Structure 1
């Protein structure tokens, strides 16, 4: 810790009393070697499952004509978002696990914040689009193909990306212009807005926090409310039916599970008071939100979705036939 303090003081001398530091120092998990090895292997396994699982979903959607529908079009983009989302933080966490000096440049930190918020915000809006798709399919089945055509699907995906990009750009700009006159140590695994605001010595930190949380809250809460309204209409429409209830609910189960996991983990991470939780609990919650959720989405859709399981069986059967023919 003495070496770290010395490096911090050098960085602060280089950047002046009130300015932006050139480097931030991240305080990660335990420094015990065995703990680092275990954590590294665990993170590596999670990252591989995230990559392979989401790539599998994307490949199946591209190759199987039965999955060429709006619901799976959105699911393909969700899988791509999950790969990007986990890639913002996990590779750096893996690298830092065995590093004695867990550093990140100021530009790298702001870039990480931007993409982390961008992909997270885009996923919120995309999950809302998927809820709207289920609402049209169940509540307006006769007009579904007209109301949810390729052009509408494309526009909804573009809106999700633009919403996440715009909100994250403003928040990253706010953080980039904060002065850091004290220690440039971030007591976290990666760069996140609350920890940068805490490290800043700006007299307007409360205002910056208000603006940042308002932007993130507008996307998160707005998306959650729209999803909730969609499912209220879906449940009411299904309950009024005499037949097909189980099938109608089955098409929503996977999406509802993903929504509950994503928004639930986010709410626990950001709405619980930071002062009441220990550092280790904060890091575990951050990993749940940033790392575990992207890994679970393909698992949920492959295990609870009959069409995806059918596509996997067909792909395996096709691969077995090709091996027999080549043999």
Structure 2
């Protein structure tokens, strides 16, 4: 297809990882094990929250939604990554690239919003416990999650439609293992100013999310320090320590990839950070909530006794 003497592309070439054959084989099986563990761990949490009456609370409802997002992100990325590792690179159609990017961005933005409301949930539980049941109602939680899914994919669809209007010329090579906004933006041969401006404007609400989380946990820390009993203080801290760990891991990788300057980083460093974010973090989250949560451990034991 010719336009203004420029050959436009209908597919992209993903370079993947520039490593030896043995390293690719090792990486393939490592990611396969992690992916299977991610599916099993997060599905276990979803099943436990759905079937155990002790886990029918707002906090565990949000945790089950986090598990859903932790299943969707690697499911969107890993299958095509296996193909790339096997073939030392691979191609993806233009439509497939846009679909992968839209799905990834939508789930990523949902997780940002979800972690924020989970912080607020812990804030209400610790700082205003007497009104917790009346504030964090089941209908409110369901409506918030539904709204978050809708807004997240609305923003992702807008971003994807804008990206699809960019012109991508030869060479059609993306030095990455999946389609993401920044790598696509870098290889566009048309003016990307309007596209970048739109991304910044749509990202403004998401930039306030970390400040909301900091405010919530600042009030939580102040409330915990005012508790005189050491046992009560440790119990209060344990209820939010798992979530705080997940928030730290999520935003550390997110800021490293998209916020901090990347001009001094090699493409391989960015790929490693993306690999940690898209493949390994979804496995870490259920491990954190499983090993550091007595209610989930109890639910696992009760389920095991019931079916074994």
TM-score bracket for the superposition, by shorter chain length: over 0.9
TM-superposed deviation, 1:217 = 4.8
TM-superposed deviation, 1:274 = 2.4
2:117 paired with 1:129: yes
2:258 paired with 1:283: no
Equivalent of 2:239 in 251, 269, 275: 251
SS in 1 for 2:248: helix
TM-superposed deviation, 1:32 = 2.9
CA distance in 2, matches of 1:111, 1:286: 18
Q: Is the 8 A contact 1:269 1:285 kept in 2?
A: yes
Runs of 5+ consecutive residues of structure 1 not aligned to the other structure: 1-13, 321-327
CA distance in 1, matches of 2:39, 2:196: 33
Give 1 or 2 for the bigger CA radius of gyration. Answer: 1
Matched positions, count: 305
2:79 paired with 1:117: no
Q: Is the 8 A contact 2:14 2:174 kept in 1?
A: yes
Counterpart of 1:304?
292
2:222 paired with 1:236: yes
Shift in CA distance, 113/286, structure 1 to aligned 2, threshold 3 Å: same
Q: Calculate the TM-score normalised by the size of structure 1.
A: 0.89
RMSD: 1.6
1:1-327 mapped onto 2 (5 Å cutoff): 14=1, 16=3, 17-18=5-6, 20-30=8-18, 32-99=20-87, 102-203=90-191, 205-219=192-206, 221-243=207-229, 244-320=232-308
TM-superposed deviation, 1:206 = 3.0
Give a deviation string over 1:9-45, Cα, whole Å, max 9, x none.
xxxxx45544752110000113632122111101111
SS in 1 for 2:12: strand
Q: Calculate the TM-score normalised by the size of structure 2.
A: 0.94
SS in 1 for 2:263: helix
Runs of 5+ consecutive residues of structure 2 not aligned to the other structure: none
TM-superposed deviation, 1:296 = 0.8
CA distance in 1, matches of 2:88, 2:223: 58
SS in 2 for 1:274: coil
SS in 2 for 1:104: strand
